[in-house]
């Protein structure tokens, strides 16, 4: 997984917080969901959420042809297969669950050299510090803090 290693604007906006290991977020149930369970549910015939959202993301990219792109709560990268590296030279995916990002990296890292993945809380992002042609944020779930029981 590619973590921020220099001060590119799309990485600096989240890089300061990505290695946090303590605090209330450690009880976030999303941190433990395996990629197979998430994808298995969202692609089920009776759900078809991933298929629909992939088409929405594809249509956004076709219409806007973003040179820079942020995918927040990117999970395992549904719709990232539509990124054309000849058009989108830099893309950053942000997600709170590291194993899901690792699955994404294994799938798309080799064919998208401009893809950077950051394990972080999206609520820590400072959009004043960076900008993107397109920010895709499907099924927004994030909340500031989970509290220990
Ligand atoms: C409802 S799912 C949507 C995932 C994906 N966008 C999709 O459309 O399939 C929400 C995801 O956001 C992640 N998440 C929850 N809170 C987050 C936060 N504060 N920062 C980053 N990711 C978060 C969870 O791990 C979960 O996989």
Q: Does any domain span residue 129? A: yes
Q: Does any domain span residue 148? A: no
Q: What pLDDT is recorded for position 4?
A: 36
Domain residue limits at 66: 29-136
Widest Cα–Cα separation across the chain:
48
* For ligand 1, mutation pick of 47, 55, 73 (most atoms within 8 Å of CB): 73
Q: Does any domain span residue 22? A: no
Q: How far apart are CA 93 and CA 115, in angstroms?
A: 7
Q: Mean pLDDT throughout 40-61?
A: 95
Sequence-distant (6+) residues with CB within 8 A of 17 are 120, 121, 124
12 CA distance to ligand 1 middle (Å): 20
Q: Does any domain span residue 76? A: yes
Q: How far apart are CA 20 and CA 120, in angstroms?
A: 8
Q: What pLDDT is recorded for position 118?
A: 92
- Report pTM: 0.81
Greater model confidence, 11 or 140: 140
Total domains in the chain come to 1
Q: How far apart are CA 85 and CA 115, in angstroms?
A: 9
* For ligand 1, mutation pick of 79, 141, 145, 146 (most atoms within 8 Å of CB): 141
Q: Does any domain span residue 48? A: yes
Give the CATH number of the domain where residue 123 resides. 3.40.50.150
**pLDDT tens readout for residues 94-149:** 998 889 999 999 999 999 999 999 998 888 877 666 789 999 999 887 665 544 44
């Amino acid at each position: 997984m590619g973590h921020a290693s220099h001060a590119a604007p799309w990485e600096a906006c989240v890089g300061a917080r990505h290695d946090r290991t303590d605090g209330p977020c450690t009880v976030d149930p999303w941190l433990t969901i395996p990629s197979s369970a998430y994808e298995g549910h969202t692609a089920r015939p009776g759900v078809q959420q991933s298929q629909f959202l992939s088409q929405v993301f594809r249509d956004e990219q076709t219409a806007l042809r973003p040179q820079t792109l942020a995918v927040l709560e990117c999970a395992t990268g549904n719709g990232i297969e539509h990124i054309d590296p000849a058009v989108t030279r830099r893309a950053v995916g942000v997600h709170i669950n590291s194993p899901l990002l690792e699955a994404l990296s294994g799938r798309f890292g080799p064919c998208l050299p401009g893809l950077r993945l950051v394990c972080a809380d999206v609520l820590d992002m400072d959009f004043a510090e960076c900008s993107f042609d397109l920010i895709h944020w499907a099924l927004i779930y994030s909340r500031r803090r989970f509290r220990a029981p």
